[in-house]
Amino acid sequence: MPKLNENYLQLKDSYLFSEIAHRTAAYSEKHPDKPVIRLGIGDVTRPLCECAIKALHESVDEMGQSATFKGYGPEQGYAKTRDAIAAYYKRNGVEVDADAIFISDGAKSDTGNITELFGHDNVILIPDPVYPVYVDSNTMCGNKVTYISGNADNDFLPMPDHSQHVDVIYICSPNNPTGACYNKEQLKEWVDYALENEAVILYDSAYEAFISDPELPRSIYAIEGARKCAIEFCSLSKTAGFTGTRCGYTVVPKELVFTSSDGRKMSLNAMWNRRQSTKYNGTSYIVQNAAAAIFSEEGIKECQENLNYYKKNAKVIADTLTELQIPFYGGIHSPYIWFECPNGMDSWTCFDYLLENIQVVGTPGAGFGENGKNYFRLTSFGTYESTVEAMNRFKKLFAK
């Protein structure tokens, strides 16, 4: 009998969004006459922009001709895509070398897989609440996690505890699920803390494109010193509607060098390269061409139109909650709105209450950590019409 990875026994039975999908499907099966509005998982509804579609069509045609057909590509990604992303960083005022950029099938895989670069006796700091992949992927490999509390007192933006040493720090900004976003001073404090502790920051910037204040950092590399202490993960899922197309990228600067227990230098860039070339055969040529098109001037403009659409939805949700006097966070530099469950409900009770009474599906805060147990997350990724309809139902349900 094989010995199994018993760390899996420490996980909840199912992944948060699978559980929500399961409960929603069970409800719909029982009540086929009551259509459900889904504002739970952050899955986009706008189609791919024209630039991406054009690049996809052209690439498919290339694959059909022997002169332009492509087999395996570079595991790190095609130069065209890496260069386009480096140029996108530059456009936002940040220098990132193209050879520090690794193209992948999304930030979820990379934030999960990155645990492989680290030993198992690190102090790993994870904010609570946060995207569940960080905790679950550490649990799967037997790592112990230390939590730092995000709550109403710190506006869900926890800051380092300078009396505590940690080795690996997860930060997601704009935050999933709270929508809170660190400013430059706050991020600088995290970078300084990481440098003092010789720690690594794993920075998830999947929602950077939602930042509309030019003063707020869209990348950790906007902060001096970050190249010596931070890996950044980013995704086209939300920026360009690639949830089904799949493409993301991870930046591992060459400056990230640490010392092994026997005194040898270890480069995280070289390790990630070794990991990817061993276990990943690269993102498809077709998808990478679409990704490169997204970062052209025209692509950025077209994506912005979709982002504006979702921002308008976020405003509809925020305005409704304001009217109903339900306290909330997010919704400005983020597609997520994080609100306090009304009438003292806990978050799973709130989930059932909304599903049963108004057929609106959201995400219970408890799925993001202990501190989320009295909060609830809605996304602005629905259609405008369904968002307005969901909010009309909220108004009827929660009118005082």
Binding-site residue positions: 15, 42, 72, 107-108, 131, 176, 207, 235-237, 246, 281, 377
- Cβ count within 10 A of residue 365: 27
Using DSSP bridges, classify how beta strands 145-149 and 124-128 pair: parallel, antiparallel or unpaired: parallel
Beta-bridge partner residues of 233: 204, 250
Q: Which stretch binds ligand MLT (CB under 6 A): 20-28, 38-46, 115-123, 386-394?
A: 38-46
Specify the amino acid at residue 60: V
Tell me the number of residues near ligand MLT by CB under 6 A: 7
Q: Which is nearer to ligand MLT, 43 or 128 (CB)?
A: 43
Extract the annotated binding site for pyridoxal 5'-phosphate.
72, 107-108, 131, 176, 207, 235-237, 246, 281
CB of 124 to ligand MLT, least distance (A): 20
Task: Map residues 313-352 to x or -, x wherever contact with ligand MLT holds by CB under 6 A.
Answer: ----------------------------------------
Which listed residue (20, 37, 38, 42) binds ligand MLT by CB under 6 A?
Answer: 42
Q: Which stretch binds ligand MLT (CB under 6 A): 40-48, 74-82, 343-351, 383-391?
A: 40-48
Beta-bridge partner residues of 266: 258
Q: Which is nearer to ligand MLT, 221 or 381 (CB)?
A: 381
Q: Which is nearer to ligand MLT, 186 or 239 (CB)?
A: 239
* Residue 144, CA distances (Å) to 115, 123, 134, 141, 177 in order: 12, 7, 12, 9, 22
Q: Is 38 in the site for ligand MLT (CB under 6 A)?
A: no
Extract the annotated binding site for substrate.
15, 42, 108, 131, 176, 281, 377
Q: Which is nearer to ligand MLT, 193 or 338 (CB)?
A: 338
- The 145-149 sheet, strands edge to edge: 101-104, 248-251, 230-235, 200-204, 168-172, 124-128, 145-149
- Cβ count within 10 A of residue 304: 14
CB of 111 to ligand MLT, least distance (A): 9
Tell me which H or E stretch contains 258.
Answer: strand 257-259
Q: Is 127 in the site for ligand MLT (CB under 6 A)?
A: no
Q: Which stretch binds ligand MLT (CB under 6 A): 35-43, 160-168, 181-189, 305-313?
A: 35-43
- What does the DSSP 8-state code read for residue 30? H
Q: Which stretch binds ligand MLT (CB under 6 A): 37-45, 153-161, 289-297, 348-356?
A: 37-45
**Is the bond preceding residue 47 a cis peptide, omega within 30 degrees?**
no
- Degrees, nearest 5: CA angle 10-12-13: 115
* Residue 71, CA distances (Å) to 63, 79, 319 in order: 9, 15, 51
Q: Is 108 in the site for ligand MLT (CB under 6 A)?
A: yes
Euclidean distance between the first and final Cα of the chain, in Å?
A: 61
CB of 379 to ligand MLT, least distance (A): 6
Q: Which is nearer to ligand MLT, 82 or 377 (CB)?
A: 377
Q: Is 176 in the site for ligand MLT (CB under 6 A)?
A: yes
Q: Which is nearer to ligand MLT, 39 or 229 (CB)?
A: 39
- Cβ count within 10 A of residue 363: 27
Q: Is 41 in the site for ligand MLT (CB under 6 A)?
A: yes
CB of 19 to ligand MLT, least distance (A): 13
Q: Is 246 in the site for ligand MLT (CB under 6 A)?
A: no
Residue facing ligand MLT at closest CB distance? 42
Tell me which H or E stretch contains 337.
Answer: strand 336-340
Q: Which stretch binds ligand MLT (CB under 6 A): 39-47, 119-127, 190-198, 267-275?
A: 39-47
Q: Which is nearer to ligand MLT, 131 or 210 (CB)?
A: 131
CB of 65 to ligand MLT, least distance (A): 35
Tell me which H or E stretch contains 20.
Answer: helix 16-30
Q: Report the candidate in 327, 353, 331 with the shortest Cα–Cα distance to residue 340.
A: 327
DSSP letters for 36-102: PEE-SS----SPPPHHHHHHHHHHHHHHTSTTT---S--TT--HHHHHHHHHHHHHTT----GGGEE
DSSP letters for 295-331: TSHHHHHHHHHHHHHHHHHHHHHHHHHHHTT--EEES
Q: Which is nearer to ligand MLT, 218 or 377 (CB)?
A: 377
For the chain, state the CA radius of gyration: 21
Q: Which is nearer to ligand MLT, 108 or 333 (CB)?
A: 108
Binding positions for ligand MLT, rule: CB under 6 A: 41-43, 108, 131, 176, 237
